[in-house]
Structure 1
Amino acid sequence: MSSTVTASWEFKLHRKRRIKEALIVILTVITLSTLLIHRFPSSSNAEDEEKPAEFFSLTAASQAPQPQPLFPAEDENAQIGTSSRRKIQHYSDELVRQTQANNDAMRIEIRHKKRKLERARKIKELDGLNFYKLMLSRRSHLVESCHEYLDVEKKTSLQAANFYVIQEEKLIWCPVYKAASSTWMQNILYIAGHNQQMVSEIRSKYPQQPNEQGRVVAPEVKKSFLQRFEKKGNVNKLLIVRHPFHRLVSGFRDKLERCHGPNGCEDLNFDWYYKIYGHRIVKSYRKKALKKFPIEYFDEGNNFGSPVPLGDNARSEKLPIFWEFVQFLIDSPVEDYDEHWKPQHLLCSVCHFSFNYILHFENLQQEQKEFLKTIGKENISEFIQNPLNSGPTTEDLVSKYFSTLDKDDILKLYNIYKLDFIYFQYHFKN
């Protein structure tokens, strides 16, 4: 089905390209015809009548028109001057350039559509066997990459406190914050055997603390216990990852770009992330930001520096803008990062722990469905939430935030999250 759709779509693009090329040819012919008319003007009937009969009895050789150059030599009798020839040549070159640019754009669009259709086909055809192969491929890539960066990973260690272990279900999960972590804090309650009423009671007890919800069924364990339990047979070790820059923008928007607390922006004293990070970031980088951006950039009409509207009383000029946040990250040690923007490979010690299920947030709905089948929990699929339904950070949205950064800033960010890109097979487009 996908190949038929692709062929039909490519045929339409091919037809559009041929129509454009035909129009260009017609335009060129009209232009040349106009030039030839000016070069060889037709004689009037009166002039023909005045010519003697001998004039019309020339030999065939003399009657044959002599070939004339399209652009006559530069002399005082030439009807088309140098400037006209240059203009015509310019228009001709421009037509060639536009045609080439259109062809290149169409080829790029075709490749993009092919890749999109191929991804859709793979997602649709993700069954048990393909899921197993996909997990094996991701696991093998991670092992090879860790070996390649062994010198770097020697400086890190297993952070057991970040792991959630459900012993009865032989499940170990390390949450990557801003990669469906809050959703899966609830999901593991169902996996542990809790029903909807029990889950609702736990959520009511810890309404603003998803971590504590998960700890009800997966208490914190020591490093030695985690290492022993990992080596047992048939243990499912789960990791959910996300594109590093998408996750970064999501973390900033959720924790620092908008006001939190009971009184919104009227009283930021109850906003934990503002007190710990936001206030410090603005104090350190607002003067530099005012030199880079016009003062109007921070006005209410411009969302107080946010690339997108956030709603009434959702933001204040006291909160940092994305550019200031990025400068803070560049100047801070990675080890001191908050869990919502700390690199994923550090959060979950991926080179010190053998995860056998690495799911991608971007295709989580399908992949978590197959994961639940694998661990024998497909019966709870109706309770499992899909975070993508709540409006994920899209590539267009991320581009709006990154458009406020210089190229050097983006490259510095990439170097901070480079191993996330490499380990989890995400691509970096500058």
Structure 2
Amino acid sequence: MKGKRRKVVLFMMILGIYVSLFLVDIYYDFQEFEENIENSKQIENKFQDTILEFENWDNSSMLKNIKKLCRKNPVILPLPVQIQNGAPPSIEKHFMKIYQKNILRNLVSMPNLNLTWCLVPKVASTSISKLILTAVRNNKSLAKRKVHWFDEKDPKNIQNELWRVFSRPYYNPFQNDKTVRFLIARHPFARIVSAYRNKIEDKERSHDGLYFFKTYSSKIIKFNRGAFTPDSKEPTFIEFIKYILATDINDHDEHWQPVALRCRICQVNYTHILKFESLGSDWRNFIKSNNIQMSSDLPWDNKAGMQDYYQHYISQLTKSDVRQLYKKYQSDFEAFGYSI
């Protein structure tokens, strides 16, 4: 009888050990499962954390449009592949810093003016840059660095001086600062036409025409004609459009990259959106309403009558071209309230 009891007790002890081990195994499996879930959430959040919350946004119509666009189809700078592929924490941290820096790389930080500006070429950027530099030259307290001489007829020289005097914001402080953040939008098709006329159509027309001919026209010509030589005639407007349609917007030059992408409108909380088409009045109201120490009279360079030549170029496009181009720049159309 005692022998049977011992066997029963021994069996129960062994069973208890197995049950305990089984439960411990289940516990650790569950912990690992939760960790995997958490890790996948963290990877997703690395991306999502750079997208804005919109609850406190201004109620103006364009900011509402941006809010709607960013919730439905956010325009986001792609994450580095090193983060997407799950790199070790130290490497991931390194590339996340680079990523955050790239989010803000097109922003001019002017803390003494309480301004942050997304500089967009072909949208009065030379005129605005000149106005800012003139204000700083007349009032040295508006910037930490002095303004040197700059050639008022050379857009590249003007913007190089602007970037020398000011800098780009740092990601973490920028997220919480209270500066006035603005960008200037322009009808996407009008901006494309302007970029073509100024940078592609005639290599002798602008100060950097030869650079664009060697860097971009060569690719456009090779894409459309199969081969490029230094004697090749400049790309036609249709060839330029075909090239734009065939390439990734993330690889576009700053002169024709969509404003929504260039300015990271879903990752930077803008307070003001101005429009190129009404910039004279928009700029005056913007300067006065925010008490900015700068002239409200805009020395508008390149203010040519777009209507004089816009239709000449756009009329060359087929309906299919127009539809595809609209889709390519849909974020700008939706965010800034433009139509075809």
Structure 1-normalised TM-score? 0.53
Q: In the alignment, what sits opposite 2:319?
A: 407
Deviation at 1:243, TM superposition (A): 0.3
Q: In the alignment, what sits opposite 2:63?
A: 139
Q: Does 1:194 find its partner at 2:137?
A: yes
Deviation at 1:199, TM superposition (A): 6.2
Q: Quickly say closer, same or farther: Cα 1:378–1:172, change in 2 above 3 A.
A: closer
Q: Does 1:277 find its partner at 2:207?
A: no
Q: Quickly say closer, same or farther: Cα 1:218–1:404, change in 2 above 3 A.
A: same
Deviation at 1:379, TM superposition (A): 5.9
Q: Does 1:231 find its partner at 2:176?
A: yes
2:73 aligned to 149, 156, 159, which one?
A: 149
Q: In the alignment, what sits opposite 2:196?
A: 252
Query: Which structure exhibits the higher relative contact order, with contacts defined as CA atoms closer than 8 Å and separated by 6 or more residues?
Result: 2
Tell me the SS of whatever aligns to 1:185.
helix
Unaligned stretches of 5+ residues in structure 2: 1-57, 80-98, 141-145
Bigger radius of gyration among the two: 1
Does structure 1 conserve the Cα–Cα contact (< 8 Å) formed by 2:185 and 2:336? yes
Deviation at 1:195, TM superposition (A): 2.3
- The aligned amino acid for 1:368 is W
Q: Quickly say closer, same or farther: Cα 1:240–1:147, change in 2 above 3 A.
A: same
- The aligned amino acid for 1:408 is S
Q: Does 1:213 find its partner at 2:161?
A: yes
State the percentage of identical aligned residues. 28
- The aligned amino acid for 1:138 is M
- The aligned amino acid for 2:137 is H
Counterpart CA distance in 2 for 1:393 and 1:135 is 30
Does structure 1 conserve the Cα–Cα contact (< 8 Å) formed by 2:127 and 2:301? yes
What does the per-residue CA deviation read over 1:344-398, in whole Å, with 9 as the maximum and x for residues that have no partner? 111010010111110000000001001111232366234x31347x31422x522
Deviation at 1:231, TM superposition (A): 1.8
Q: Does 1:374 find its partner at 2:313?
A: no
Q: Quickly say closer, same or farther: Cα 1:226–1:202, change in 2 above 3 A.
A: farther
Does structure 1 conserve the Cα–Cα contact (< 8 Å) formed by 2:117 and 2:183? yes
Q: In the alignment, what sits opposite 2:306?
A: 393
Deviation at 1:399, TM superposition (A): 1.9
1:419 aligned to 304, 328, 331, which one?
A: 331
Tell me the SS of whatever aligns to 1:139.
helix
Counterpart CA distance in 2 for 1:404 and 1:206 is 31
- The aligned amino acid for 2:173 is R
Q: In the alignment, what sits opposite 2:265?
A: 350
Deviation at 1:257, TM superposition (A): 0.5
Q: Quickly say closer, same or farther: Cα 1:379–1:203, change in 2 above 3 A.
A: same
Tell me the SS of whatever aligns to 1:194.
helix
Does structure 2 conserve the Cα–Cα contact (< 8 Å) formed by 1:186 and 1:213? no
- The aligned amino acid for 2:187 is H
Counterpart CA distance in 1 for 2:133 and 2:124 is 15
Q: Does 1:240 find its partner at 2:184?
A: yes
Does structure 1 conserve the Cα–Cα contact (< 8 Å) formed by 2:110 and 2:116? yes
Counterpart CA distance in 1 for 2:183 and 2:105 is 15
Deviation at 1:196, TM superposition (A): 9.8
Does structure 1 conserve the Cα–Cα contact (< 8 Å) formed by 2:65 and 2:334? no
Between 1:338-347 and 1:325-334, the stretch displaced more is 325-334
Counterpart CA distance in 1 for 2:123 and 2:277 is 9
Does structure 2 conserve the Cα–Cα contact (< 8 Å) formed by 1:242 and 1:361? yes
Counterpart CA distance in 1 for 2:274 and 2:129 is 16
Counterpart CA distance in 2 for 1:338 and 1:154 is 15
Deviation at 1:260, TM superposition (A): 2.7
Tell me the SS of whatever aligns to 2:151.
helix
Counterpart CA distance in 1 for 2:61 and 2:283 is 17
Q: Quickly say closer, same or farther: Cα 1:255–1:135, change in 2 above 3 A.
A: farther
What does the per-residue CA deviation read over 1:144-186, in whole Å, with 9 as the maximum and x for residues that have no partner? 2211214x54847762111100111221000111111111111
Does structure 1 conserve the Cα–Cα contact (< 8 Å) formed by 2:204 and 2:210? yes
RMSD after superposition:
3.2
